[in-house]
Structure 1
Amino acid sequence: MKHLLIRLGQILVASLALTTVLAQAQDAWPARPIKLLVGFAPGGSSDMVARLIATPLGERLGQPVVVENRAGAGGNIAADAVAKAASDGYTLVLLPSGHSSNAAMKKNLPFDAVNDFAWISTVTTYPLTLSVRPDSPISSFKDFIDRVKNEPNRYTYTSVGVGTAMHLFGEWLMAESGGAATHVPFRGGTAPMMELLAGRVDVMIDTMTTTAPLFKDKRVRVLATTVPAGQQALPGVPAVADSFAGVVFDSWLGVAATKGTPPAVVERLNRELRAVLDQPAIKQRLIDWGGSPRASTPTEFRNRVEGEIRQLSKIVTERKIEAQ
């Protein structure tokens, strides 16, 4: 009995010591650089926003935040890496709204799109755009719809990957219009823009953050955006919803960590990210790129993702879009 009590005492002391060490380690977070994964190639909208926030976020945390591109599978390679990372707050991911459409479109994701993540905060929201090269024979959004209805599958549209928001929106638009166009997926970055300008694809569906500078420099013509009916995200550019009621899409980017990340780390990341997004220079850059700075609580972010997955899954089912 005496030996048992001694053994139990040793276990209790060891347990208390471990708890103290873990608490001290958590208090010391971050003690080394933090990785911010991006699921697309350098030069695209996700990469631009990640690099915009990484430096000031690292300055506030006292450790560098290093952007690492893990392109492919519509952003799922980066998301999967974070879902399977240690729950220590040292591996983050900048998720796009395509995370929700991936969950709606793909039957066998290697992770749970909601429950395998610790939600930190949204960063920015913005509409999608439909653009053509300046000398395109497609003269307007109405002209594009007429063409895809009269000449099914002759015209092409891009996305940054199968199952991404751009892809799903393109399918939704074809279903609403009764037309048909061929989807051409890329791995992100500048590839869709380069192929559009080279004349190898007809329409680029991309984020406002990618398109706004090109529109300003007159390198593309924007046919329409996905803002609500009656609104103009760009001067003289109509909304898709002006022609098809309710066809509205609000894209976003947001930071997440791995499920099980300590609540104190999640709270710290949320607080510091909010402070970064409140900086005038950061706000203005996001606005210049066609977005709106949009911080959230972790709960608001999670609820947003859950709601979108339900909504987009319904669209996939109702429009008979084939899940991948």
Structure 2
Amino acid sequence: MNKILRLSCVVTGLLLCTAAQAETNWPTRLIRATIPFGPGSATDVVPRLFFERLGPELGQTIVVENRVGGGGAIGTAAVAKSDPDGYTVLAHSSAFTITPAINPNLPYDTTKDLSSVVMIGSIPNIMIIPKDRPWKTVDDFLKDAKTKGSTINFGSVGVGSAVHISSEKFRLAGGFDATHVPYRGGPEVIADILGGRIDFYFCPAATALPLIREGQVRALVVSTEQRSVDLPDVPSMADIGLKEGVSNTWVGLLVPSKTPREIVDKLHDVSTKLLAKPDMQAALKKMGVVPMPITPKAMDELVVKEVAANIALLKNVK
């Protein structure tokens, strides 16, 4: 009996060593990355660029899948419930902290079931309008909007999306009413802005900048506290005295919360080194992405803070 017990202990020890060795050697096979938004949006193209370059850094292929629905909840739930082995990752945006305010009955706990890994960066949202609208400045718009009420409308990529929150913060801070028109994705909103069917859209810089540069739309204000270096002539929310309207869209990487710390740390370190490379920084800058170098712990704390703030904000939204 003692020999059997000793043999069992040896086998158990070997298994534990093998498991530890497997974690140390991570990754040893293909990694699956989920983006819970539709193709073509800023929250799709930015992480796709990141994953395209991260794969070679890790020495493995990263397969990216769009799992759309529920304001990002469907794709997020799938990752939250996946094996915490480092081979299933989630690229999400600020909408991650908004969904709990929209749907308190999510199939996952936003602050407990997923752990932060790295911030790819933040993307200012730019208020764009059809080029034939009469408003030359954001002050022109605000004066007009306060008299027109809900006849003013704005688009978003869905209820509870980061761009929806940017619009609502601006509306509440500016003291005007407006009608929200949700779409399935960014390309559909852009089509209706270009067609003059909606009045304004807080569009991520990655998508807005080419349209602005080509003169297809007009930019009135940037959602952040500071002006965008790409649009030095466009005022920020702070510039127009609406600090309550400040908002930012971040894009980051998360994994199931029980993923071994060694894997999270390695993924964070490799990602951080990639994001610091000049060619990567240049590619992200071209898309209007601003670096946001924070630790996984700081990112987790940001998530908790934003969830509480968004729940409070959306109590004031119709």
Partner of 1:203: 200
Task: Give the alignment partner of residue 108 of structure 1, picking from 100, 105, 108.
Answer: 105
Q: Any gaps of 5 or more consecutive residues in structure 2?
A: none
Within 5 A, what are the aligned runs for 1:57-76? 57-76=54-73
Partner of 1:321: 317
Q: Percent identity?
A: 32
- Report the secondary structure of 2:124's partner residue: strand
Partner of 2:270: 272
Partner of 1:258: 256
Q: Is contact 1:45–1:207 with CA below 8 Å preserved after alignment?
A: yes
- Report the secondary structure of 1:144's partner residue: helix
Task: Give the alignment partner of residue 187 of structure 1, picking from 171, 184, 187.
Answer: 184
Q: CA deviation at 1:7?
A: 5.0
Partner of 1:235: 232
Partner of 1:30: 27
Partner of 1:297: 295
Residue identity matched to 1:264: E
Distance 2:281 2:6 in 1: 56
Partner of 1:221: 218
Distance 1:185 1:268 in 2: 38
Q: Could you list the per-position Cα deviations for residues 12-57 of structure 1 after superposition, in whole angstroms to 9, with x for gaps in the alignment?
A: 2332232123123222321211112111111111111112111221
Partner of 2:46: 49
Q: Is contact 1:71–1:188 with CA below 8 Å preserved after alignment?
A: no
Partner of 1:281: 279
Distance 2:193 2:278 in 1: 34
Q: CA deviation at 1:179?
A: 1.4
Partner of 2:117: 120
Q: Is contact 2:158–2:164 with CA below 8 Å preserved after alignment?
A: yes
Distance 1:161 1:300 in 2: 28
Distance 1:155 1:6 in 2: 81
Partner of 2:88: 91
Q: Is contact 1:33–1:64 with CA below 8 Å preserved after alignment?
A: yes
Q: Any gaps of 5 or more consecutive residues in structure 1?
A: none
Q: Which runs of 4+ in 1 moved over 3 A?
A: 5-11
- Report the secondary structure of 2:254's partner residue: strand
Residue identity matched to 2:26: W
Q: CA deviation at 1:82?
A: 1.0
Q: CA deviation at 1:232?
A: 4.9
Distance 1:232 1:260 in 2: 38
Distance 1:68 1:81 in 2: 12
- Report the secondary structure of 1:273's partner residue: helix
- Report the secondary structure of 1:292's partner residue: coil
Residue identity matched to 1:244: L
- Report the secondary structure of 1:151's partner residue: helix
Distance 2:244 2:148 in 1: 25
TM, length-normalised to structure 2: 0.92
Q: Is contact 1:40–1:189 with CA below 8 Å preserved after alignment?
A: no
1:142 aligns with 2:131: no
TM, length-normalised to structure 1: 0.91
Q: Residues 110 and 144 from structure 1, CA distance in 2 versus in 1: closer, same or farther, beyond 3 angstroms?
A: farther
Q: Is contact 2:35–2:75 with CA below 8 Å preserved after alignment?
A: yes
Q: Could you list the per-position Cα deviations for residues 159-178 of structure 1 after superposition, in whole angstroms to 9, with x for gaps in the alignment?
A: 11111122122222222223
The CA RMSD measured in Å over matched residues stands at: 1.9
Partner of 2:12: 15
Q: Size of the alignment, in residue pairs?
A: 316
Q: Is contact 2:142–2:174 with CA below 8 Å preserved after alignment?
A: yes
